[in-house]
Structure 1
């Protein structure tokens, strides 16, 4: 259950970053409000997951989900540049997240 909560927290981190971009430096109110809500959800779920997961592993997985998800969203939805190096870097982050997940599950 903790891993599911951590995954959801990572997805809310992606939504938080996307809302932050849409808020245009907090000059657009609705995305700014959404940013705050997603931040509370993301950190709240992370806090609950940390009750039963190692902090180093959980934090690395949480940020990895956020980094990969935000980078992918930027390339797919927002027109960010796509390059083979970016794709390879995202794959390396994913490999690290999977490795940490497997290492955490071994406990």
Structure 2
């Protein structure tokens, strides 16, 4: 269950980053409020997951989901560039997150 919460926390981190971008420096109310709500949900779920998971692994997975997910959403939704090197690097992050998940499940 802790891994599920951690994955959901990572998804909220993606929403937090997108809201931050859309807030235009906290000058737009709705995305600014969204940023704080998603941040609270993300950190809250991370803290619950940390009750059962190793901190290093959990934090790396959480940030990996957030970083890779935010980059993918940026490419697909926000029009960010998608070079071959960027896509390969994102794949490496995803494989790293999967590896950390498998290493954590072995305990």
Assess same fold via TM > 0.5. Answer: yes
Counterpart of 1:45 in structure 2 is 45
Q: How many pairs are equivalent?
A: 107
Give the 4+ runs in structure 1 shifted more than 3 A.
Answer: none
Structure 1 position 96, deviation (Å): 0.5
Q: Give, in whole Å, the separation in 1 of the partners of 2:94 and 2:23.
A: 28
TM-score (norm 2): 0.99
Tell me, in whole angstroms, the C-alpha distance in 1 between the residues paired with 2:55 and 2:13: 17
CA RMSD of aligned residues (A): 0.3
Report the Cα offset of residue 56 of structure 1: 0.1
- String of CA shifts for 1:8-39, please: whole Å, max 9, x gaps: 00000000000000000000011000000000
Q: Partner of 1:28 in structure 2? A: 28
Matches within 5 A, 1:63-102: 63-102=63-102
Structure 1: 5+ residue stretches without partners: none
SS at match of 1:81: coil
